[in-house]
Structure 1
């Protein structure tokens, strides 16, 4: 990312001021995240921000009632870990579900806590990598999840992550994939663009990751040299709790759909995956 993007940030801020439906609470650091994810393209950044803010207003199931102290969200936090590790030029983002019996699994609560983590990462995590490597730990994923999941909503959510989040997706790895992972994958694959499917790989165990990612960048839970991802996940939740006031604001970064021009569609792809770095 260029050292000085002040002019670009100001350009985006001027654009936001002219769009009555878009929020005015995105700070400069957050705007820089979007600019970086869209490779400095102002037009792609505008589309990405519009998608981001509009979808937050549309997905009320996961963008309202976000008190991190709420018992249901504390439960969701307790069975998930999110962690971030930096390589020479990339950022590794890991998500793990740890609820083998699925006794505590509540679909919307898990998506909600995921987005709370994402918001904290967007607002406070100072990392501008060349690309993002996403690792999804599938060890607790099973066919028993299907009745508990709104598949169509989850498909929309995946598209939102690809089109609206300020990330440069480089690779997606599913680890600890069960033998029947293809049946689970088939439920969401139709919603995933072909170019994204090409960068998705599945591995039966975490040791297999060592073939594609240097062990020094992987957490100790994966046989790597980096610090524990579960401890990092707990640390992130503590930080989120200290920012409770931020998450009590249900209007944070949301578009006002009543003021959104009907001609202003939100299906356009953002630069964050139109220009995927595919190895």
Structure 2
């Protein structure tokens, strides 16, 4: 029984196999094909020996609906991001001061189990209304680290139902969102191409509605059509089973602070894994095809705040 969402849901891979019209043998064959492809990419260094490459590739395949082409693109994006010094993909110390503050100021957690349609529910909630408490670099880094662990462990996140609790969000937080931030978010979505089934924004004020309007030009119409805004969180009862819904919203599930602590502890315990994974990089001088960054300034992307992505 899944208690806290840290373990793979029993039978989830079998469900995905049926859903995508594949099976264990087909996945094994595709994994071998991807391993051969990796060995022929001169710019991608050999993977660290401590990474279970077969399992990682299988989970990446399932993430992109068993598409070989999309898997190759996602792999390249992941490894290239680390090579170019993008802070959200590399130099990830889960014990750093920045991430410690993020654990304290922002809830980022999956809910236990899955919904009937197979999707995972993830909740984001700032815990402070102070403008400087919203550190998007650390937030995005945490998200990527959590998704990396899910890929390693086979926790299905191919389909996400996102809840954003804006009770502590203020209009001044909008200053944290600039063009590099939005481009970095776009890059993350390409590196981890999950399907977003719904976005519930709860505890919304008039200022939050203005913020949502601000983001509309930067988000696809398809995603925006799945954004639903609510002044009260009681609507969550209609879309999430009470067994999954946290006590904070009147459900029977673990409270948000408990879940956030579980995931923070999970991330902090994996420092060695992140060090190993972050050593897997590319040699851009040996790249045969155009970089996914697509501009001549990739060498200047030393920090998140200077990110320049086309």
TM class, shorter-length: 0.7 to 0.9
Deviation at 1:59, TM superposition (A): 5.9
Runs ≥4 residues deviating over 6 A: none
Residues 95-154 of structure 1, C-alpha deviations (whole Å, 9 max, x = no match): 222112245333323332333233223322x3336622122222222211133x141122
Which of 166, 183, 188 is the matching residue for 1:138? 166
List alignment gaps of at least 5 residues for structure 2. 1-15, 18-22, 295-310
TM-score by length of 1: 0.83
The alpha carbon displacement at 1:167 in A equals: 2.2
Give the corresponding residue for 2:64: 38
Larger relative contact order, structure 1 or 2 (CA cutoff 8 Å, min sep 6): 1
Deviation at 1:74, TM superposition (A): 0.8
1:14 alignment partner, one of 36, 44, 49? 36
Which of 164, 174, 185 pairs up with 2:191?
Answer: 164
Relative distance call for 1:63 and 1:37 in structure 2 (3 A) is closer
User: Which entry has the higher C-alpha Rg, 1 or 2?
Assistant: 2
Q: Distance between the aligned counterparts of 2:108 and 2:78, measured in 1?
A: 21
Which position in structure 1 is the counterpart of 2:151? 122
Q: Distance in 1 between matches of 2:228 and 2:84?
A: 31
| Equivalent-residue separation in structure 2 for 1:164 and 1:221 (angstroms) | 32
- The SS at the match of 1:201 is strand
Provide the C-alpha distance between the structure 1 equivalents of 2:59 and 2:198, rounded to a whole number of angstroms.
19
2:157 & 2:133 partners in 1: Cα distance? 34
Moved more, 205-214 or 17-26: 17-26
Aligned pairs for 1:226-265 within 5 A: 226-249=253-276, 251-263=278-290, 265=292
- Contact kept, 8 Å, 2:216 with 2:224, in 1: the verdict is yes
TM-score by structure 2 length? 0.75
Once the two structures are TM-superposed, the CA of residue 46 in structure 1 deviates from its matched residue by: 1.6
The aligned residue for residue 49 of structure 1 is: 75
RMSD: 2.5
How big is the shift at 1:60? 1.9
8 Å contact from structure 1 (residues 65, 250) kept in 2: no
CA deviation vs aligned residue, 1:61-107 (integer Å, no higher than 9, x gap): 33343212222221111112222232232211222221122453333
Moved more, 46-55 or 10-19: 46-55
Cα distance in 2 between the residues matched to 1:18 and 1:39: 24
**Count of matched residue pairs:** 265
Relative to structure 1, is the Cα distance of residues 93 and 23 closer, same or farther in structure 2, using a 3 angstrom cutoff? Answer: farther
Q: Please tell me whether the aligned partners of residues 38 and 45 of structure 1 are also in contact (alpha carbons under 8 angstroms).
A: yes
CA gap 1:11/1:81 in 2 versus in 1, 3 angstroms: same
One of 199, 207, 210 as aligned partner of 2:237:
210
User: Closer, same or farther in 2 for the Cα pair 1:260/1:189, shift >3 Å?
Assistant: farther
Counterpart in the other structure of 1:71: 97
Matched residue, 1:100: 129
| 1:191 and 2:213 correspond | no
Aligned equivalent of 1:83: 109
1:168 offset after TM fit, Å?
Answer: 2.6
Distance across 1 between alignment mates of 2:242 and 2:143: 26
Q: Cα deviation per residue 1:29-78 (whole Å; 9 max; x = unaligned)?
A: 22222211221121122222223333444462333432122222211111
Unaligned runs of 5+ in 1: 268-279
